[in-house]
Amino acid sequence: MAYDALVLVSFGGPERPEDVLPFLQNVTRGRGVPPERLAEVAEHYLHFGGVSPINQQCRDLLAAIREDFAANGVDLPVYWGNRNWDPMLADTVAQMRDDGVTRALAFVTSAYGGYSSCRQYQEDIASARAAVGPDAPLIEKLRQFWDHPGFVEPHADAVRAALAQLDPAKRGSTRLVFTAHSIPVSAAATAGPHGGRYTAQMEETARLVHAAAAPDLPYDLVWQSRSGPPQVPWLEPDINDHLTSLAEQGVTGVVVSPIGFVSDHLEVVWDLDTEALETAKQLGLDFVRAGTPGTDPRFVAMVRELVAERTAPDGERLRRRLGELPAWDTCPALCCVPAARRP
């Protein structure tokens, strides 16, 4: 099937102090978040001058994708639109229409299934197209990529590099801690067509990165960045509570790998590099945060591979380096083509 563009779809973030509260109001619109909570979160952004790293990271990824496409003969223009801040997705879709784009693929900067990480982006795309009108290009979201080597391998290398910063004599009391964005327990239970997709995919990514990077070390999957009313159960344990538990168990050092994220945006540099690091210092734990894929060439090449999967004449996924060719397994939104569960 022919496509004539790719659009990078991301969350968006403020780029100056006066953007912060309007941005947060966009993020939380309709969710009944009290003003005092918005003010608290705004301080996280203001700690970094009111600038979220995510937009520049998207610009860097956009440039890397364009360079990779050009070097590998992929003749697709690449656009960029956000859910919550400029460039807004509807404006981007309007530009695509004006440029003559009729059918495009969307690469979303979220690797996993679930409402906020996948289905909501489908809704964003549909809303943007509706806002543009009947001449808006058709836009199809590329599949989730939580177990793709182009995502797993950069995370694994980052864990190895982080471990190299810790005292090798203390390896026996070192632990790997994988983190991802917490979501309500009810949302986790209903993620995907059969429920539990978000947590199952996260567990698989943790297993793959652990096996590739440090199979001799114990590891845990924990959660971060919780928000919402305190009476609503969210996935636990929180990274800070878990660090306290590890210190009580005699762990002396941790490598924290944010496998839930593709780049070092605010929820990494605040929740981990600031809050979790401070917790570790108070507990006397050696703490190193592993990097994220960002613009790693393997991650960038993965985008091209996902495009090739979707555009292959037979409609089948390309064989991946792990030697697997699973059947298509689409969710009700037709946005997911996950790998078969490994034993």
- Give me the residues paired with residue 141 across strands: 106
CA nearest 288: which of 324, 340, 333, 252? 252
- Give me the residues paired with residue 255 across strands: 176, 288
CB atoms within 10 A of CB 10: 27
- The binding site consists of 52, 121, 181, 267
Query: CA–CA separation, 118 vs 113, rounded Å?
Result: 5
- Return the structure tokens found at 127: 């809303």
- The binding site for Fe-coproporphyrin III consists of 52, 121
Torsion of CA 259, 67, 301, 60, to 10 degrees: 0
Q: What is the mean pLDDT of each run of 10 residues along the chain (343 residues)?
A: 94 97 92 85 95 97 98 98 97 98 98 94 97 97 96 98 98 98 96 94 98 98 89 95 98 98 97 98 98 98 96 57 35 37 27
CA nearest 120: which of 12, 265, 11, 21? 11
The pLDDT, as a whole number, for residue 314 is 59
- The binding site for Fe(2+) consists of 181, 267
Side chain identity at residue 143, one-letter code: R
* φ, ψ (nearest 5 deg) of residue 49: 75, 15
Query: CA–CA separation, 152 vs 170, rounded Å?
Result: 26
Using only the alpha carbons of the chain, give its radius of gyration.
20
Overall size of the chain counted in residues: 343
Return the ∠ at Cα 313 (arms to 309 and 318), rounded to 5°: 30
Contact in structure between 93 and 81 (CB atoms under 8 Å) = yes
Helix 297-311 crosses helix 54-71 at what angle (to 10 degrees)?
A: 60
The pLDDT, as a whole number, for residue 343 is 24
- Return the structure tokens found at 13: 């973030």
- Return the structure tokens found at 234: 């969210």
Query: CA–CA separation, 224 vs 313, rounded Å?
Result: 41
Distances (CA, A) of 224 to 85, 120, 203, 235, 258: 23, 20, 15, 9, 9
Handedness of CA 80, 47, 292, 142 (dihedral sign): negative
The pLDDT, as a whole number, for residue 228 is 75
Query: CA–CA separation, 292 vs 268, rounded Å?
Result: 9
Handedness of CA 334, 192, 122, 179 (dihedral sign): negative
Query: CA–CA separation, 225 vs 135, rounded Å?
Result: 39
Q: In what order do the strands lie in the sheet with 103-108?
A: 78-82, 5-10, 103-108, 138-141
- Return the structure tokens found at 16: 């100056």
Side chain identity at residue 140, one-letter code: E
- Give me the residues paired with residue 139 across strands: 104
The pLDDT, as a whole number, for residue 107 is 98
Contact in structure between 224 and 256 (CB atoms under 8 Å) = no
Residue 215, judged by CB atoms within 10 A of its CB (0-12, 13-18, 19+), counts as: exposed
Strands (E) across 43-110 are located at 78-82, 103-108
